[in-house]
């Protein structure tokens, strides 16, 4: 295998590893006009272990930050609509990844596309 092929293979592996990383989120982002970015989502050139993510803190804009690991919990997000009160909360952002949720709950997109912690279908009890 040529050194060029090895380099391409390593770049593909690094891309797959960083794909499992998630930016800390803030729900629906409406970036103010006076923000300053130090990186670009299109051309992510952050140092190893960091990812180009939007920050709403000052200075707001896209910056290289340490992302969250996306380690999925068992089960799948419930079918919408759900009887969980968080299933219809709008303008909320309670999680980015499953590990942000307590116990067996998963980070799911609800009917308003807000990220909330919901009990997965695998753990729902059927009451007849």
pLDDT of residue 77: 92
pLDDT tens digits, one per residue of 77-121:
988 777 777 777 777 788 999 999 999 999 998 888 888 999 998
Whether pTM exceeds 0.85: no
pLDDT of residue 33: 74
Domain boundaries, the chain: 3-69, 71-128
CATH superfamily of 71-128: Elafin-like (4.10.75.10)
> Shortest CA distance to 114 belongs to which of 22, 7, 28?
28
pLDDT of residue 2: 58
CA terminus-to-terminus distance, the chain: 61
């Amino acid at each position: 295998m040529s050194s060029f092929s090895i380099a391409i293979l390593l770049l593909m592996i690094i891309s797959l590893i960083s794909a499992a990383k998630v930016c800390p989120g803030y729900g629906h982002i409406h970036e103010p006009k006076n923000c300053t970015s130090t990186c670009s989502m299109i051309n992510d050139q952050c140092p190893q272990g960091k990812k180009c993510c939007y920050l709403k803190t000052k200075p707001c804009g896209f910056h290289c930050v340490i992302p969250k690991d996306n380690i999925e919990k068992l089960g799948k997000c419930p079918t919408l609509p759900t009887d969980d009160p968080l299933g219809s909360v709008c303008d909320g952002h309670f999680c980015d990844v499953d590990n942000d949720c307590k116990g067996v709950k998963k980070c799911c997109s609800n009917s308003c596309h807000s990220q909330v912690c919901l009990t997965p279908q695998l753990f729902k009890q059927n009451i007849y």
